[in-house]
Structure 1
Amino acid sequence: YGAAAALVLGPQYFPNFSPVAGVLAAFGTFAAGFVARPIGGLLFGHFGDRLGRKRTLIASLLLMGVGTLLVAVLPTYEQIGVAAPLVLVLLRIVQGLGVGGEWGGAVLMAIEHAPRGRRAFYSSFPQMGIPSGIILSNVVFLAVGAVTTSDQFGAWGWRIPFLFSALLVVTALIIRLKLEESPEFADTRERGAVRRLPAVDVLRTSSRSVVLGMGVSFAPSAIGYLFSVYLLSYGTREVGLPQQTLLLLITLASVCYLAFAYVSGRIADRVGPRRVFLGSMALSLVAPFGCFLLFETATVSGALTSLVILGVLLGFMVGVQAIIVSGAFETSLRYTGASLSYQLGAVLGGGLTPLLATAIFAATGSTQFVAGYIAALVIVSAICVYLLPTSPRGDELAEPSPGAVATGAS
């Protein structure tokens, strides 16, 4: 959706706006999906901590899949008028609700099945889905763009990647139906330690961890959407790089992102996820300033170098993000707590970044101010990860202190 928002949704759904205003409006619909994510995190987190990870994961997948598929067949402004952008926002909210429950469940199924001492590595695999998704979507966009004219791509070609997502949803559904329930949740259920109202309990007993986990997620989300969405829009509109070239460069850099997410998980089990994350934060404090300068050379080599640098840094921080955030919550609250933390961070750090970056550049005429905004979020994330009460090595997940009484399910 981010790629489509950067490239075509403005003219299709906001044709009466100026080019910049149209992009801002398209990025606004992008942000609308993020606003729904924390609600989805609370909703699906509640059921994930009450009924189990597996069933909740299936429900969130179906909701997300339906929302994405309906975007593919949504008429444009020219066809149904003002109803088109309104329905687009509604579908983004549906997607956001599904995604809000998706991340926490996928991450916990990996972590709670992992052997001791390998949890950081196992947790990196769901995180690899982020660059994998960028690669797949961009490859489809590239393929469609290669066989259609600019007018054809704008009229109907952009819909093909959304239709293609139905295949991925069916594949994921088959896999999830065959999964076993998380052993840690099964043990919690056996002990009668399932909470009646996990959404209430997590805010009552673990609000500090929720806030700090949210802050940890600021930098990965902001840099992630700068990398995959904003630079695609900025590069085509302001720098003058061809759309197909930029899609290809982001795809190549995403391979580095994917590879270093894997490396990050491997290293974190040895030295601790917090150290890996803080190291990536130190580099990310200065990298955006240089990356924008490289990108603005308007050369393929400059753009690729800047994107690869961002991709490598993203890999290191995203590879350990899941174990850091989820490790702060006990099993009976983990789905709700981890989902809410991550999704709040995604809203404030990621969902608003393309919108704010576009507005900052429009107001100042310089991307160095955009880099300053990213650097501020990096500082916040570094402070939050330092303060978050999680295992330094990532191999111990939070559990209730002795004497703590959980509220039974019955």
Structure 2
Amino acid sequence: MSATSELRRVVAGALVGTALEWYDFFIYGTAAALVFNRLFFTESDPAAGTIAAFATFGVGFVVRPFGGILFGHLSDRIGRRSTLIITTVIMGVSTGLIGLLPTYPAIGVWAPILLTLLRVCQGLGAGAEFGGAATLLAEHAPPGRRGYYASFAQTGVQIGLVLGTSAFLLVQLLPQPDINSWGWRLPFLLSFALIGVALYVRLRVAESPVFREMERTREIVRLPIRDAIARHPRNFLVGVGAHINDTAVVYTLATFSVAYAANRLGLSSRTALLGVILFGLTVIALQPFYGDLSDRIGRRPLNLFSVVFVAIFAFPYFLMVDTGVTWLVWLAMMIMGAFGFAPQVAVQPVFYAELFGARVRYTGFAASRELGAALAGFSPLIGAALAARMGGAPWLVAAFLVGTAVVSFVAFYVSRETRDMDISLKE
């Protein structure tokens, strides 16, 4: 097989596999915003149920660093491709089982307990998925084009967001009693079928040439997480801070904003979900452009621009959403996606891959990024609590987004430009 054909297959494998796995992760957030508060928690206090549902959503982020460390260790020892196949099965099975769970009226407190345990399994799989797909793409990509090709890992994530939101948008066409009894289960049960699609694509992908060379020269380390922190302490901290803002932005828009628009503004859930789909489609369209631009001007300028835009636009975003005018709500989401979110997430796959040497790349990438995700993954819960503190008004939520932008700005500011580095270096 030619190098070009192999690269195309790797891109397809990363794109399809990542999309399907993040479909699994995102549908939980949508369900938490729309139905889990009533089905798995208290029915007497909808606000308390929403906060509890968002808390279980955040649990997935708490365990993501452990997934990154565990599967990063495997990947840096047995290979990128093999590890991604394992995470595909874990993610698909745990998501499908959520669709089979009995609800609170049926089994009482065991319902939220089982839901949380399956969310933990989702978090373990998600903690390894993105780092593996991005590492595989970056290590296959030709020099000078890593930003462009690696950006397809993030494109897959956004496709997963659009697919998951679209699934619930279709479910919303059912009568409410049907949604509550069986309709909400359909997007989760679909995951069982999607496992086969993802495995078919990923089993056809070749192992990274960088990892194959490490195997040949026997340069695989015994404990990658220890070496990643010891050899790259500065970059590890940069990796933690770099993922805080984009995590806060996407889950504030895709999860908190859905609940806010429906519960506070009185918009239909379909309107809110369409806004999320438009946000995702905007980001998908711009990923290759920003990835290519990072190969031309560097990773650092785009990252800095993106977080500065989030800080500037956070309050205008909620001013537009708070009008309750449908087209303004959609426009606000699309603007935030185009300039506040898309640049930093398009650059993110290659940015993290270039932070660490080849021997500890997957572990350093996944562990540092997912630790940042854990710190910001409770954004929907924080947003709901801050809004409740202000009688439903979103201004503390906007201030929270500004704060996360400041944290990531510091991380990007102290980072080094890496677009010209040799990614095959072992250290």
Bin for the TM-score computed over the shorter chain: over 0.9
CA contact (8 A) 2:37 2:43 kept: no
Q: Secondary structure at the match of 2:218?
A: coil
Q: Secondary structure at the match of 1:239?
A: coil
Match of 2:143 in 1: 116
AA at the equivalent of 2:323: T
Shift of the alpha carbon at 1:253?
2.3
Moved over 6 A (4+): none
Match of 2:245 in 1: 219
Distance in 2 (CA, whole Å) between partners of 1:311 and 1:77 is 36
Shift of the alpha carbon at 1:310?
1.5
Q: Secondary structure at the match of 2:278?
A: helix
Distance in 1 (CA, whole Å) between partners of 2:424 and 2:249 is 28
Q: Could you list the per-position Cα deviations for residues 23-65 of structure 1 after superposition, in whole angstroms to 9, with x for gaps in the alignment?
A: 0000011001111100000000000001100111101111111
Shift of the alpha carbon at 1:133?
1.0
Q: Could you list the per-position Cα deviations for residues 201-253 of structure 1 after superposition, in whole angstroms to 9, with x for gaps in the alignment?
A: 22322232222101000111110111111100111011111011111121122
- TM-score (normalizing by structure 2): 0.91
CA contact (8 A) 2:359 2:426 kept: no
Match of 1:358 in 2: 384
Distance in 2 (CA, whole Å) between partners of 1:398 and 1:183 is 9
Match of 2:203 in 1: 177
Question: Does structure 1 residue 28 correspond to structure 2 residue 55?
Answer: yes
Question: Does structure 1 residue 228 correspond to structure 2 residue 271?
Answer: no
Unaligned stretches of 5+ residues in structure 2: 1-27
> In the alignment, which of 126, 139, 160 is matched to residue 166 of structure 2?
139
Match of 2:290 in 1: 264
Match of 1:370 in 2: 397
Distance in 1 (CA, whole Å) between partners of 2:351 and 2:277 is 27
Query: Aligned pair in 2 of structure 1 residues 319, 394: CA closer, same or farther (>3 Å)?
Result: farther
AA at the equivalent of 1:244: R
Q: Secondary structure at the match of 1:105?
A: helix
Cα RMSD (Å): 1.4
> In the alignment, which of 266, 270, 295 is matched to residue 244 of structure 1?
270
Q: Could you list the per-position Cα deviations for residues 342-397 of structure 1 after superposition, in whole angstroms to 9, with x for gaps in the alignment?
A: 11111112x11000011111112331211111111111111101223451x26543
Query: Aligned pair in 2 of structure 1 residues 378, 15: CA closer, same or farther (>3 Å)?
Result: same
CA contact (8 A) 1:328 1:397 kept: no
Aligned residues: 398
CA contact (8 A) 2:91 2:121 kept: yes
Match of 1:317 in 2: 344
Match of 1:287 in 2: 313
Match of 1:66 in 2: 93
Match of 1:2 in 2: 29
Unaligned stretches of 5+ residues in structure 1: 402-410
* Aligned counterparts, 1:78-89, within 5 A: 78-89=105-116
Match of 1:399 in 2: 425
Distance in 2 (CA, whole Å) between partners of 1:323 and 1:385 is 14
Q: Could you list the per-position Cα deviations for residues 276-323 of structure 1 after superposition, in whole angstroms to 9, with x for gaps in the alignment?
A: 111112211111110100001001111011111121121111100121
AA at the equivalent of 1:212: V
Q: Secondary structure at the match of 2:219?
A: coil
Q: Secondary structure at the match of 1:112?
A: helix
- TM-score (normalizing by structure 1): 0.94
Query: Aligned pair in 2 of structure 1 residues 217, 135: CA closer, same or farther (>3 Å)?
Result: same
Distance in 1 (CA, whole Å) between partners of 2:288 and 2:267 is 30
Q: Identity, % of aligned pairs?
A: 38
Match of 2:187 in 1: 161
AA at the equivalent of 1:110: L
AA at the equivalent of 2:96: L
